[in-house]
Amino acid sequence: MIFVLAVYFELLAFEIMGYWKTIRDHIVLRPEPGSFTAEGESARWSNKDLDPVLQENKKWEWYHVGGFWIAEGFNISQLETASSAVALGLNLGLAIVACLVGNLLVTIPTCSSAYIGSKFGLNFPVLSRASFGLRGAYVAMVIRGVVCVIWMGVQSSVGGNAVRCMIEAIWPSFKHWHQGALPESAAISAADLLCFSIFWIAQLPFLFLTINALRWMFIIKIVIMPFFGVALFTWALTAAHGWGPLFDMPTQISGSWTVGYAFCSTITAAISSNATFAINMSDITRFAHDRHRSWLAQLMLPVCITLTELLGAVMAASSQVIYGELQWNPLKVILMWDDRAAKFFGGLLFAFANIMTNVAGNSVPFGNDLMGLFPKWINIRRGQIVCAVLGFAICPWLIQAKADRFLAFLNGYTVFLGPLIGLLVSDYWLVRRGKGYNIRSLYQPSSKLYWYTAGVNPRAIVALLVGITPLLPGLAHSINNGLAVGRGAIEFYTMSWLDGSIGIWS
């Protein structure tokens, strides 16, 4: 009997192994002839999507890259950056100036990332190997990957609000749909959860578009969204009876905040809204045809983003004048509109805008990072799907609940992105003096050029910790205000991105 059972379990094990081999053969990415992946040890460190982009596949022209910022400007999170500053008490003028300063600062590393990506045809995970080592680059990928997942969720939550505008425009009774079905601790209503789910499902097909195909979707967004922005701006000024009432609103900072504290915090929030692009742009511009024009096109960032933030601040201030209630979320303002057609199309356009932002700004970078971590198993499409699933799982509506919580989130992750960006920029321009990389060595440990110590550059890790550590007390206080943290550490933290990115140069 024992012998029979032993034979049975052995046969069962062989059968399971056979099934696993079949599944494994379908999951493991096969190298293509002539690619880096097919060259022995490089197969461990690359796949088709991680290889350098060939010249014939570089189809993004300068106007696609520049238009990216026109398209990116019109998303709700950009509007919320300035409007949340107004909600916290800054007047309209100070909020816009703070946003402009932040946008100018973040443009510098964004230009660097765009130039390097287009010059070498490489994405962020591969470029980071030069600074951190082939294994040490995992640290950089994880830092950026976590941020992308959080932003994927936040943008989906915002997109869910846009879907709600559309549904309420058709069925006004939806406003009271299953009220009280979820507890207050959930920080979301049943209606909002349904809208979030609808938006999340609607964006899934767009994850299957290639980077070159995405440029046409951005062309559509470039044509539509500026007209919509002008319409919103005109409505806000007209309904509020011009600039006068808006600029007459005084600065009223509540609680322990000061004007300087709120101003610096808004600068960091403006930076952090685009800080991921200071790293991500190489993922896009590696497909750019002209490397010189691709980085010059980044000068559209401070212009387009600041104009969008001006619109957000004006909408927030005008809501106070029109409705007697300051709304920092522009979709909440749209929900107050009486015109159902305007409410529907406003929600539709914002939903489309956020889908494009989510795909290019969050799912594509995360897909690249996960692909860099597991090149044998993950390609860009699989990584994007994983990003979407995780973006749902983190319950992002908790971040969107309050203006101060939203600003705390924006300021928080720059603690890690600032030093990371500073390290990458200083390594290429100061250490290597812009002389470039040995591309093949970025895929081959045996060359030893970027292998450093067991695949890790200890100097890069130490420099990263030097940039992050001084900001941790301020980060801890922003998470829990009850912690006893010195005033100096708190004020130092308000400029976390700038402090970290510049401090690492030392």
Average pLDDT rounded to a whole number, residues 221-234: 85
**Percent of the chain topping pLDDT 90:** 27
Quote the tokens at residue 483.
Answer: 């912690």
Quote the tokens at residue 236.
Answer: 């806000």
pLDDT in the model for residue 61: 84
pLDDT band at 493 (very low <50, low <70, confident <90, very high): confident
Name which of 39-48, 150-159, 381-390, 402-411 the model is least confident about. 402-411
pLDDT in the model for residue 377: 87
pLDDT band at 404 (very low <50, low <70, confident <90, very high): low
φ/ψ (deg, to 5) at 453? -110, 105
| 288 three-state secondary structure | strand
Beta pairing partners, 191: none
Pure H helices in 336-379? 340-358, 364-373
pLDDT band at 94 (very low <50, low <70, confident <90, very high): confident
The residue among 96 and 409 whose pLDDT is bigger is 96
Name which of 74-78, 337-341, 400-404, 415-419 the model is least confident about. 400-404
DSSP 8-state secondary structure symbol assigned to residue 220: H
pLDDT in the model for residue 224: 87
Question: 11 CB contacts (<8 Å, ≥6 apart)?
Answer: none
Question: 77 CB contacts (<8 Å, ≥6 apart)?
Answer: 151, 154, 155, 158, 273, 357
* Cα dihedral across residues 218, 219, 225, 226: positive or negative: positive
Quote the tokens at residue 196.
Answer: 């979030």
- In tens, the pLDDT along 23-74 reads 665 677 776 666 666 566 666 788 888 889 888 888 888 888 888 887 777 7
d(CA 414, CA 420): 9
Place of tokens 């941020």: 147
DSSP 207-228: GGS-HHHHHHHHHHHHHHHHHH
Quote the tokens at residue 471.
Answer: 């900001």
pLDDT in the model for residue 230: 86
Place of tokens 């603690």: 415
User: Is 284 exposed, middle or buried (CB count within 10 Å of its CB: 0-12, 13-18, 19+)?
Assistant: buried
Average pLDDT rounded to a whole number, residues 145-164: 89
**What mean pLDDT is reported for the chain?**
83
Residue 84: pLDDT above 80? no
Question: 200 CB contacts (<8 Å, ≥6 apart)?
Answer: 156, 159, 160, 388, 391, 392
pLDDT band at 231 (very low <50, low <70, confident <90, very high): confident
pLDDT band at 11 (very low <50, low <70, confident <90, very high): low
d(CA 85, CA 100): 13
Residue 328: pLDDT above 80? no
Domains and CATH numbers, the chain: 57-414 (1.10.4160.10)
Q: Which of 436, 467, 434, 104 is nearest to 278 (CA)?
A: 104
pLDDT in the model for residue 40: 63
Q: Give Cα 440 distance to the centre of its chain.
A: 29
